[in-house]
Each structure stands twice: as C-alpha cells, then as structure tokens.
Chains A and B, each alone.
Chain A
C-alpha cells in the first residue's frame, strides 16, 4: 500500500470478465434459493401438463389439422406450456431481483464500487436468467420425452433453444422496466396487463385461429406467440421454413433491442 504508481490504466473489463467475476455471487444466490424455486420452476409446470394436457385434453377429440398438426391435445399443449413457462420464469427473475438490487439490499451499488460497470451487472443477472429459464425448460423436455409428444429427437433440442430465446426476449425488457420504475407496485401492471393475457391468448392453450381475425392478428404481434409457434413447429416436426425464420427474427430482434435498452436504463438509473 505504500507505493502508488501514478500510471494511467485504460483497461476496462471485457463483457466476459464482467460476468465471470460475478459467478461466485450468483452461485451463492442459487444455492440459497434453489429449494424454494423447485415448486414454481419444476413441479407446477408439470401439474399444468397433467391437468390441462392429460385430463382436460382427454375431452379434446379433434383431427390433427385443427391442432396445428399435433396428433393429440397433449402433444399440442406441451410446447405451448414450455414456452409460456419460459416467459414466466424470465419475468420473475428480472422483476423483484432487479428492484431488490437497486432499492432493498442495494447489491448493485455495492458491486459498482468495484471495477464492474452497469453493463456487467445487467449481463450477469441476464446470464443467471438464461440458466434459470434453460434449466426449467430442460427439465420439462426431459420429463415429457417418454410420453411420445415429440415427433423427433432433434426437434425438442432446437425447441429448447427457441424457448430460451423466448424467455430472454421477455427478460431483457422486463429488466429494463424494473430498472426504470421506483416502486414495486408497478409490477402489478406488467403481470396483469402483460403476462397473464399473453399467457392465456398467445396460442399456448389453443390455436389462435379460434380467436377471430382481429384478435388473431393481435396475438401474432406478441413475442410469446412467435416463441410458442416456433417451439411447437419444432416439437411436432411440422416446420414451415418462412414462418420459422420470421419467428426467429422477431425473437432475436426483441431480445437484442431489449438487451440494449436494459443496459442503458440501468446505466442511467445508477448514475443518479
């Protein structure tokens, strides 16, 4: 401590270093919370499959053409549920945790006293969200595989990537929203006006052709529909190339723009 080199130091952390240095933090956070997240992440999605796919689906006897090519209602609903679950997990991981890091336990401010920057904090939390979304989706796919709902082995593998993309498209924008608002009361807004309507009407539970032309057009604008549609096409081995590319492009665009907005919003928030 006695000698101080008064040299310039232009080194900034690379984005990779910025995230890796927070690995231990997020590992500890996960070890602390994984038990309480088991029910919401793994058990309740499978209860949905049981109740809606198996039991409710037992009443649904229609030709595959009315189920977007799915041989059964169970095969139809599983990809929709995985994608919708990815959205939910992603949004939960980027609402209260962001608010807490800024307002309650202020961990963002503690981290900003180190060489880490706002960019690194956003990236690490989003990386953790990828892990959370990915692990829940992976369990979903693995558990459902023996029940004959997937048409090929590579379909679910690609669908897994699609669900993670779907989740992250929501995670980035939710992160930006959470970094912007001052009070957690505003979360009610995105849960009630965003999450729940999308969850119900973006094609997870029934083909959106049943909505009528106007609402169908609305549903097709939601990122969740693009996620659900892509996931389902891959799982059922019923891929329309052009539609798949549009779905993928929309998800990627929403994700990347949201990522940029999330970082900018956090930078502005912590500079105050």
Chain B
C-alpha cells in the first residue's frame, strides 16, 4: 500500500506536483514537466495528449521507472520508483516511441531473450512468446529477421514483447506515429482487446483521433503542464461547440474576412490556411456566410474534436 495518504487507494499511477528538469547539451536547464497531478485508475485507458515537446515522453519515462523524478511525488502500483524501480518494472509493459528491437535477431528470439530478462522460466517464455505472436498476428513471421518487417509489424512485435511479463500497466509512447492508416487500425484493435482483458493502458499521442479512439480519460499537456483533464467527450463539450465550420478563402483574405463573420459563431479561430467558426450548427454558419456575399473557396462542416479543444486551450495546433 502507498505510504502517502492523499493518493487514492485504487490508483495504479498517482502523481502530485510531478516535475522533471534536465540539463541539455548546451548546458541550459530544461523544465520538461513543471508540476502535474495524475491519477490513473485500474483498467482504464489513460491518455497524454499534446504536441511534441509538451512533456509527455518525459512523464512516461518517469512512470516507466527509468528516469529519476526531479520533484513532487510519484507512486506506481503503490510504490516509489526511486526505491522500488526493479519491482515496478517487473509489472510494467513498455512500448517505447523508438523501436528497440534487435534487428539482427528473428522475431521469436527477440521475444525469448526479452522474457528472460524478467526471470521467466525458459519453457514458460517460449509458450508465452508463441501465444503473443498469435495475438499480434505475427505467427507467420516467427522466424523472419526483424530487419525486414514493416513499421506496423515492428510496432506489433514491440507490443508483444511488452506483454511477455503479463504487465498490470502497459505504457505506450506514441504507438502509431509513423504508421500508415491500415497499420494503425490493426494496432488499435489489438489495444482494445487488451483493455477488455483488464490491462490498464497509458498512452501518449499527438494524434487527436487516436486519443478519441483509445482513451477513456486523458489530460491535455502543453509546455510541461496539464491544460485540461477529462473524457474526450467531456473535454469537447466543455471547451468547444458541437460543430465547426471550416472556411477557406484566398490567401491573405483570412484576417479581413474574419472580422466580417466574427458574430456568426461562439468563437472564431484564424489559422494560416483557413478560418474555423465554432457553432452549434455549422451548416447554418455556412449559409449565412454566403448570404453576406462572401465566397469561400472551400467549406467543410464537421464535429468538434480534441484538436479544437487543444486549439482553444493553447492557441496552437497539435501537429504543425
């Protein structure tokens, strides 16, 4: 049990005022995480959404019990990573952003060797490795060298590897970055199944669709701080309107046009290439724009997404 009283008893991960700073190559101190509070509950899929450099990966590395905490308090499975790193790591699965597979070994050996690091008996590792290959749909590639696998297959193999020790928590750092849409969907499907089996998932992503698809609850991170917290739907409801009208005008006209239609929605954002008008009814906005004699080159009415929430909270887009 945790020795800290203000951490909820059921929290798989709990952080209070968590901070991380380090000295970069130039000798300046970088504050990557500036004091965040998190509680991840058993069995949920928890997300860190934010642009590159928001502090997500630094947070993940602290949760993975590899990177020492600079300040604040962190408990993983009730334990302090500074004292119980090996014990915590024996119950975590880690799927890092960059693949750390051994390219010269075959698929099966990558799993076998990794399982041995956890002290799992040889026979048991072999059995689990075969099962997991089945699970990530790589049984046919069992004897292939990792070097020749596609990006999606490598990522699935990394996930299989992270499951060898039957972890209580699975950490996934940008799991689908660099994958094509089809590979992403295969991966998401596998993650859904894990969640159904009761594995707690912690995911970082800068893709809002991924966060919406996978996460029960998430925090929006920006510049080392948490900007908002909640379920994807709640966040959208709270920080955005139901619909968004996207209007594209000739380059250079956006600022001037914005003034003429600012009253049509609850809010209006001017992006370099388009205007976003936030309103309950997007079609209605588009109609009125035309009634005012304005002729956008293109229009699109869509539902609000986490991207809009992020824009609202930080004034910036997630993917530049």
Contacts and interface: CB of A to CB of B under 8 A. Distances in A.
Contacts of B116: 21-25
A240 interface: no
Contacts of B87: 8-12, 115
Contacts of B86: 11-13, 115-117
Interface in B1-59: 1-2, 9, 12, 22, 42
B14 to A, nearest CB: 11
B199 A112 contact: no
Contacts of B199: 1
Contacts of B90: 9, 114-115
8 contacts: A1-B168, A6-B78, A10-B87, A11-B86, A12-B86, A114-B90, A114-B165, A270-B66
Interface string B59-78: 00000101110000000011
Interface stretch (A85-93, A101-109, A153-161, A231-239): A101-109
A106 B89 contact: no
Interface in A11-51: 11-13, 17, 21-25, 28, 32
B215 interface: no
Which secondary structure dominates where chain B touches chain A?
loop
A32 B109 CA distance: 12
B119 A105 contact: no
B36 to A, nearest CB: 20
B179 interface: no
A116 B67 CA distance: 14
A115 B119 contact: yes
Contact of B119 (A1, A6, A21): A21
Interface of B: 1-2, 9, 12, 22, 42, 64, 66-68, 77-79, 83-87, 89-90, 92, 94, 96, 98, 100-105, 109, 112-114, 116-119, 162, 165-168, 197-199
Given A9-B87, A117-B86, A109 B100 contact: yes
A222 interface: no
Interface residues of A, number: 34
A17 B94 CA distance: 21
Contacts of A8: 1, 78-79, 84, 87
A25 B113 contact: yes
**Listed residue (B64, B84, B113, B114) with the most chain A CB atoms within 10 angstroms of its CB:** B113
A135 interface: no
A22 B98 contact: no
Nearest to B199: A1
A21 B66 CA distance: 19
B84 A10 contact: yes
A31 to B, nearest CB: 10
A2 interface: yes
A4 interface: yes
Given A28-B105, A105-B103, A110-B100, A22 B197 contact: no
B56 to A, nearest CB: 17
Nearest to B85: A117
A185 interface: no
Given A6-B77, A8-B1, A113 B197 contact: no
Contacts of A272: 22, 67
Given A7-B78, A110-B100, A111-B117, 14 more contacts: A1-B167, A6-B1, A6-B9, A10-B83, A11-B87, A23-B116, A105-B102, A113-B66, A113-B96, A114-B117, A115-B90, A117-B86, A271-B68, A272-B22
A115 B86 CA distance: 4
Contacts of A10: 83-84, 87
A107 B12 contact: no
